[in-house]
Structure 1
Amino acid sequence: MLNDVAGLTLMAMLLPFAGALVAPYLTARLGANAAWLLALIPAFAFVHFAGFWPVIAKGEVVTGGYAWVPSLNLSFSWFLDGLSLTFALLITGIGTLIVLYSGGYLKGHVQQGRFFSFILMFMGSMLGVVVSDSFLMLFVFWELTSITSFLLIGFDHSREASRRAALQALVVTGGGGLLLLAGLIFIWNITGLTQLSLLLHSGDILRESPFYAAALFLVLGGAFTKSAQFPFHFWLPNAMEAPTPVSAYLHSATMVKAGVYLLMRLNPVMGETPAWEILLPFFGGITLLVGAVLAIRQTDLKLMLAYTTVASLGLLVMLTGFGSPYAVEAAVLYLVAHSLFKGGLFMVAGIIDHEAGTRDVTKLGGLRSAMPITFVAALFAAISMAGLPPFFGFLAKEEIYAALAGPDPRAILFTLVAIIGNALMFVIGFAVALKPFLGPKVETPKHAHEGPVLLWLGPLVLSLIGLAAALFSPVAHAYVSSPMASAVAGEAETVTISLVPHIGLPLALSVLTVALGILVFLGLDRARSLVARLVDALGPGPDRGFDHFIAGLVRLSWRVTQLVQNGRLEVYMTSTFLLLALVLLVPPIVHGELPAMPTWPSDVRFHELAFIFIAIVGLIAVLAAKDRLTAIVSLGIQGFAVAVIFLLFGAPDLSFTQFMVETLSVVILALVMTRLRLSPSDHRTWTQVLGDGAIAIAAGLGFALMLLKSTQAPFDAALTDFFNAYSKVIAHGANVVNVIIVDFRGTDTLGEISVVMITGLAILALIRIRVVAVAPAQKTVAALKGKNVEKELRK
């Protein structure tokens, strides 16, 4: 039985799903004010998980859950350490602000309740990903994030661009989820473990396995697709078709970091290998440059931020795999800082769009006086994104350069990559925060004014948290940075960096980054034009390649469908029975497992021979039938003869079932056939008759040989003894056969009944379609009698 803490943890995990059920009802009753009530759900979860801070800060972990399928070592369990707790607090804390923001952003929208439902379902899914201990639980929640993000990205489903973006995100991240599943199965088979908390102590087993490379590539496939690493980065900017609350939550602070979370979680067991320290920095570095350069090209505020999110994810992946002493600490600091400033800037972009009517940075200016609170929130977030004091982003950038800088060529290369990427993100951060607000006022589609409290509360709170975390960095490190870094590194780590300037190479590189950023910012229009020409010269990118891939997949599917589903029932039946005959006959012939031919028993009685003769007569009657109805009735002769044979050999229950099945089959088939023309006979050529007959004989012979082989094997009475011993004790039934069907095979029997019921409904539907189709024609003929037919037809 779960204790109180475990029960509250389970409640915190499941409450978002419960909130998703009631969100449409509450919104219909309360309107936008429902946001205040619904925000209590993530707020409760945040308070609950924050209660683990003292325990986690001491280096301890919290586990809980219950066994699901003990025989397969599957459980519904959770695992909290510095890494998972920080993610849980980001998800629930920022989630609280996003729910409130959505109340203001979508106020009056007819589908606001549906949006709340989707965002809460996603919140529960993402929370499940980061606290899961069980592999199966991790995968289930991982796929749920893909499904719920599909719903959120395609929220405005009337627009083709939204539908395309949602489908693209689902295909990319869903495909990556399948790779992750395969990788987790590899890890399970290598280590024999299905829980992350136990896996963290088995790194040597995994790294020394000959299947380590396969497991690594599969896991990276899942992580890279979810976290938009090159060449899978294209889906994230396209996902900006979603409403801004989705962009601020899914595509900056939570979902896209699921892949980074996975890499950080597995760093203690899969890291410190050449493959890990080559692949992660390489793809992370390319993603950083691609995202930062493409961000310069954009003029839409959300797209500018989206591409810098791609760049930031690349930076996190690069740091996670870099392998230097400070790399893990830098990744941890930057992840938290990025969630704070990027979530706030996305919300600022949404406020500008909501209140001014456009997100085009070239058509904005002079909004500072009209939107002072939004300007302050944007400026604070941009300072943190630029890596300037006194915000948390400054600490992250200093630690990044401390981790990357070194004398060897590898360190120099990735330091240059980081400088270029950070400088370009500096440019975008201030472009979003300054250009819409400073300069002469520009006429906008809507009369710009400060948004309601539900809109500016989120970005202002996040930017102030970024400020407070830097000012009180010892507290932030003790409760967040150090426990998180320890979890990622797999050993105790202590983060000590503060706002006090540290004279040295990292500070010099920071100054160089700022100088380069200022230079590009002052010539942003020229830089945008230059990047645009460069991208056009390179030609179509992965986004266009995705369209070609989907188009090719559709064409291939159509051709395969035309081949295997040509619409002719006779082809389907022939193929099915031909394959069945091959499966039954080829293996025993190839492997020499044919049964011994039985001898004719000497004690066969006359009445037994009579029923065998009746069955043969029924077979001949079916073959000689001149019409379909006669063939159906003749087919019943065989069934009744077999039922009597069952009865003679002491199986009355089976015999009774056979009688019922044969009776119902004949009646149902006869009823159906009355709706068809029964008079035509079979007009197949002799070639077709011989071919079909050969297949039928081969299938029947295969079944006969299989039954003979089965009956000639030594009889294992284990099941018989079990049913005889427990039918009365467990199921309280004296009739063993009935108990097996109803109790021991209850679910199987239910499935059989369901199949029969569905078949009956399908037959009824076909009969009704026939009636409905014929009736109008009869009415038309009756109406035309005695009238001018040509005149009526013209009508």
Structure 2
Amino acid sequence: MAADGQWLTFLALILPFLGAAAAPLLVRAMGHNAAWVLALVPGFIFYHFTGFLQPVAAGETISGGYAWIESLDTDFSWYIDGLSLTFALLISGIGTLIVLYSGGYLKGHAHHGRFFSFILMFMGAMQGLVLADSFLTLFVFWELTSITSFLLIGFDHGREASRRAALQALVVTGLGGLSLLAGLLVIGGITGTASLSALLAEGESLRGAPLYMAALLLVLGGAFTKSAQFPFHFWLPNAMEAPTPVSAYLHSATMVKAGVYLVMRLNPVMGDTLAWETILPAFGGATLLVGTLLGVRQTDLKLMLAYTTVASLGLLVMLTGFGSKVAVEAAVLYLVAHSMFKGALFMVAGAIDHEAGTRDITHLGGIGRAMPITFAAAVLAALSMGGLPPFFGFLAKEEIYAGLAHGGSWGAALTAVAIAGNALMFALGFAVALKPFTGERVRTPKTPHEGPVLLWIGPAVLAASGLLSALASGLSHRFISSPMASAVAGEPVSVSISVVPHVGAPLLLSALTVALGIAAYLALERGRAAMAAVLEAIGWGPDRGFDQAVRGTVIASAAVTRFVQNGRLDVYMTVTFIILAAALFVPMIAFGELPAVPELPLLPFYEVAVLAIAFIGLGAVLWARDRLTAIVSLGIQGFAVAVLFMLLGAPDLSFTQFMVETLSVVILALVMTRLHLSPADHRPTDQKLLDTSVAVVCGAGLGLMLLRVVQVPFDGTLSAFFAENARVIAHGRNIVNVIIVDFRGLDTLGEIAVVMIAGLAILALVRIRPGAAPARAPKLPKAVEEKLEA
């Protein structure tokens, strides 16, 4: 890749974040018209990536990047093929329309600039995700989509429902992100690669590895949570608490399709196994049915569309995992078609809410004459969603049935699931597109009228694109469908389906789907009542289960905290030293590392005298009648050790030891005089025996460990390094000082920080005034106290 092209691609990846930084200033200066300027950001990105259509269509792949973390051999790298290029064009193209739509939808909002910042960061995160090559880059952008979606879903943070939905999305997708990270680490361990482009050549080794199943389940954990596969589907409809521009973008081209992108990307290397071709169709089919059935229950336009998105994601996962090239073609066609018609319908729902004041389908009707452009866009999008010619959705639906038709009994079962799901999506799509606009005029909170150009240009362009891309299917397949299908299948694929119907099983199944869809549309009211009764009878669901899991976690953490943090310092110290003793003895015993009994050397009389002083000091500590005497006696042993250091030729260390012991005794004595402690030790005998035993075991463990250390042959490599380089590198003659200040500079900084924190704690104790009443804890709000008590 040429240097200028690489630089422009890097610019395209970071440009959304630069736009996010500038958005508040632009909105402050230009108001909602800043949308026209900010739309240039995704517009430039879309234009840049159209330049790759020709080489990618010719079978080329484009990669590039820059060194990121050289010590870990990690690059900030990207990989562009048919799959990533199609996603990049959808993200930037639809993103341009979403930015414009946001300018009209949130006109006058107090935090309009902040919203633009969030939506552009979200765009940049998703763009980086689909273009990432290195595993680390992929994971960073994957998690960044979760964080930015949290900000967008909870944008209206004054409402509890928004905060709950944002937290729920973050928890579910965040846990999935950790699962993905573990899966990528397992894949890297199996194949020895850390990039997606290199992984594409390691399919055989990955599928044949003993840890393949572990890698598969971990990766699918990330993909299924992100793309709301059953039973993780519940977070996606709740995310409708976000403003409609977020919903439209989230459901059409960005976050929820990240999981689909991941399974499509890994299909060439993890597919073609029984596990892959069983798990994905099973969960995808279940998600398709669950999403459409729950969608029938809804009356909110956004929720109806949200559940059809859940169903569509299930359909995409089911097709990707089915295991045939035609099914892959169908998945590619449906993904592109879904992006166009779902983005348009969500913006239509938002326009209705903005101009009529409600999204409840039972309180809408007859507004088509007042909003003709919006009505036309809704009908065109619904025709594509329903799979009717000559729209791109028709091509996708024909290919779906062609891909599933030759799979034996398994294919027949999945075909039946696809027919049922597509029929219900047909009904829901036309319910959104027709019921608010047709029939008798219903009184609404606002008098409906056509919105400004910023509100209808997005749905109009996307709805028209669903028609034009099908009419020009030759160009669509050449530059989009075929390169993308080839990347997903891992081999060259040529998509050739056109809008001209071909008599055969797929066309008959399409006709059956349309007939069932019309019947479902006419019976939608009764179906809604029936689903409401069924759901009321079932009662429990994953959404309620999430709340129960969060509540259980809070209760369990409170119980653990009460048990571990019981407020008794003596218990903390006893447990700490017991763990220390176990950490010392268990490894030495388990691995046979106990030291040999050393020979006692003949010590000079003065060393014997110093040791005797140390033992005398120890006895004085044990037999002291009050705490102050014990503290002063404790310093005797430290002084004895300092004298030993001096006798062994380490005056610097000896001086340090003297200073530390002196300060320790002074500070401890000062603290003891400021605290209300009994002068003598009044512990019961059993407590003294326990403390004595723990102390003896810890002392013995440390002594044995030190004996074992000195019995290991000395390795002078590090000492020689310091001796050779202290003067050369650090320009110091005192090797000890050089080690502390230069070679171990960060360690020394940490030690200084610890001493400073300890000093602050001591200062706080010393400043306690005798007789002062303890500070009262701040009183919690009554609602919080009631929840904690519950």
- The amino acid of 1:504's aligned partner reads G
* Equivalences for residues 496-645 of structure 1 within 5 A: 496-606=496-606, 608-645=607-644
Q: Which residue of 2 aligns with 1:383?
A: 383
Q: Give distance in 2, aligned partners of 1:668 and 1:306.
A: 65
Q: Which residue of 1 aligns with 2:405?
A: 405
Cα offsets for 1:264-290 (capped at 9, x unmatched):
000001111111111111111111111
Number of aligned residue pairs: give it. Answer: 776
Distance 1:407 1:20, change over 3 A: closer
TM-aligned CA deviation for residue 228 of structure 1: 0.8
Q: Which residue of 1 aligns with 2:126?
A: 126
Q: Give distance in 2, aligned partners of 1:29 and 1:464.
A: 33
TM-aligned CA deviation for residue 311 of structure 1: 0.4
Q: Which residue of 2 aligns with 1:41?
A: 41
Q: Give distance in 2, aligned partners of 1:119 and 1:413.
A: 40
* Equivalences for residues 93-242 of structure 1 within 5 A: 93-242=93-242
Q: Which residue of 2 aligns with 1:27?
A: 27
Q: Give distance in 1, aligned partners of 2:277 and 2:584.
A: 52
Distance 1:385 1:573, change over 3 A: same
TM-aligned CA deviation for residue 16 of structure 1: 2.4
- State the secondary structure of the residue aligned to 2:64: strand
Q: Which residue of 1 aligns with 2:393?
A: 393
Q: Give distance in 1, aligned partners of 2:645 and 2:68.
A: 43
Instruction: Say if 1:296 and 1:524, in contact at 8 Å, map to a contact too.
Output: yes
Q: Which residue of 1 aligns with 2:649?
A: 650
Q: Give distance in 2, aligned partners of 1:68 and 1:672.
A: 50
Instruction: Say if 1:395 and 1:470, in contact at 8 Å, map to a contact too.
Output: yes
- The amino acid of 2:352's aligned partner reads I
Distance 1:770 1:375, change over 3 A: farther
Instruction: Say if 2:674 and 2:765, in contact at 8 Å, map to a contact too.
Output: no
1:325 to 2:325 alignment: yes
* Equivalences for residues 319-398 of structure 1 within 5 A: 319-398=319-398
Distance 1:440 1:77, change over 3 A: same
Instruction: Say if 1:404 and 1:415, in contact at 8 Å, map to a contact too.
Output: yes
Q: Give distance in 2, aligned partners of 1:432 and 1:255.
A: 23
Q: Give distance in 2, aligned partners of 1:663 and 1:93.
A: 72
Q: Which residue of 2 aligns with 1:792?
A: none
Instruction: Say if 1:627 and 1:678, in contact at 8 Å, map to a contact too.
Output: no
Q: Give distance in 2, aligned partners of 1:395 and 1:486.
A: 18
- State the secondary structure of the residue aligned to 1:695: helix
Instruction: Say if 1:470 and 1:498, in contact at 8 Å, map to a contact too.
Output: yes
- State the secondary structure of the residue aligned to 2:79: strand
Q: Give distance in 1, aligned partners of 2:754 and 2:478.
A: 61
Query: What's the % identity of the aligned pairs?
Result: 70
More divergent stretch after superposition (718-727 vs 610-619): 610-619
Q: Give distance in 2, aligned partners of 1:584 and 1:145.
A: 45
- State the secondary structure of the residue aligned to 2:759: helix
- State the secondary structure of the residue aligned to 1:326: helix
Distance 1:664 1:58, change over 3 A: farther
Unaligned runs of at least 5 residues, structure 1: 778-795
Q: Give distance in 1, aligned partners of 2:76 and 2:686.
A: 60
Distance 1:590 1:486, change over 3 A: closer
Q: Give distance in 2, aligned partners of 1:634 and 1:30.
A: 75
Q: Give distance in 1, aligned partners of 2:96 and 2:225.
A: 27
Q: Give distance in 2, aligned partners of 1:134 and 1:659.
A: 54
Instruction: Say if 1:612 and 1:641, in contact at 8 Å, map to a contact too.
Output: yes
Q: Give distance in 2, aligned partners of 1:323 and 1:769.
A: 73
Distance 1:675 1:724, change over 3 A: same
Q: Which residue of 1 aligns with 2:695?
A: 696
Instruction: Say if 1:147 and 1:170, in contact at 8 Å, map to a contact too.
Output: yes
Q: Which residue of 2 aligns with 1:752?
A: 751
Q: Which residue of 1 aligns with 2:681?
A: 682
Distance 1:603 1:623, change over 3 A: closer
Cα offsets for 1:57-94 (capped at 9, x unmatched):
11111112234445644332221111111112222222
TM-aligned CA deviation for residue 406 of structure 1: 3.3
Q: Give distance in 2, aligned partners of 1:404 and 1:444.
A: 45
* Equivalences for residues 32-71 of structure 1 within 5 A: 32-70=32-70
TM-aligned CA deviation for residue 292 of structure 1: 1.0
- The amino acid of 1:518's aligned partner reads I
1:725 to 2:720 alignment: no
Instruction: Say if 1:295 and 1:304, in contact at 8 Å, map to a contact too.
Output: yes
Q: Give distance in 2, aligned partners of 1:96 and 1:653.
A: 68
Q: Give distance in 1, aligned partners of 2:261 and 2:90.
A: 12
TM-aligned CA deviation for residue 597 of structure 1: 3.0
Tell me the TM-score normalized by structure 2: 0.93
Unaligned runs of at least 5 residues, structure 2: 777-790
Q: Give distance in 2, aligned partners of 1:542 and 1:725.
A: 65
- The amino acid of 1:16's aligned partner reads P
Instruction: Say if 2:675 and 2:770, in contact at 8 Å, map to a contact too.
Output: no
TM-aligned CA deviation for residue 304 of structure 1: 0.1
Q: Give distance in 1, aligned partners of 2:46 and 2:525.
A: 43
Q: Which residue of 2 aligns with 1:785?
A: none
Cα offsets for 1:146-176 (capped at 9, x unmatched):
2222222222222222222222212221112
Distance 1:508 1:456, change over 3 A: same
Distance 1:653 1:368, change over 3 A: farther
TM-aligned CA deviation for residue 726 of structure 1: 2.0
Q: Give distance in 2, aligned partners of 1:103 and 1:767.
A: 59
- The amino acid of 2:736's aligned partner reads V
More divergent stretch after superposition (303-312 vs 159-168): 159-168
Cα offsets for 1:637-669 (capped at 9, x unmatched):
433332332233233443344344444444544
TM-aligned CA deviation for residue 772 of structure 1: 12
- The amino acid of 1:709's aligned partner reads R
- The amino acid of 2:313's aligned partner reads L
TM-aligned CA deviation for residue 768 of structure 1: 6.2
- State the secondary structure of the residue aligned to 2:325: coil
TM-aligned CA deviation for residue 709 of structure 1: 0.7
- The amino acid of 1:145's aligned partner reads T
Cα offsets for 1:436-478 (capped at 9, x unmatched):
1112221111222222222222222222222221122211111
Cα offsets for 1:614-643 (capped at 9, x unmatched):
433443343344444444444344333323
Distance 1:38 1:762, change over 3 A: farther
Superposed CA RMSD in Å reads 2.4
Cα offsets for 1:560-615 (capped at 9, x unmatched):
22322222221111011011012212332344322123333324252x34443443
Distance 1:653 1:373, change over 3 A: farther
Cα offsets for 1:332-373 (capped at 9, x unmatched):
111111111111111111111122111101101122222222
* Equivalences for residues 650-669 of structure 1 within 5 A: 650-669=649-668
Q: Which residue of 1 aligns with 2:490?
A: 490
TM-aligned CA deviation for residue 221 of structure 1: 1.4
Distance 1:388 1:776, change over 3 A: closer
Distance 1:742 1:315, change over 3 A: same
Q: Which residue of 2 aligns with 1:75?
A: 75
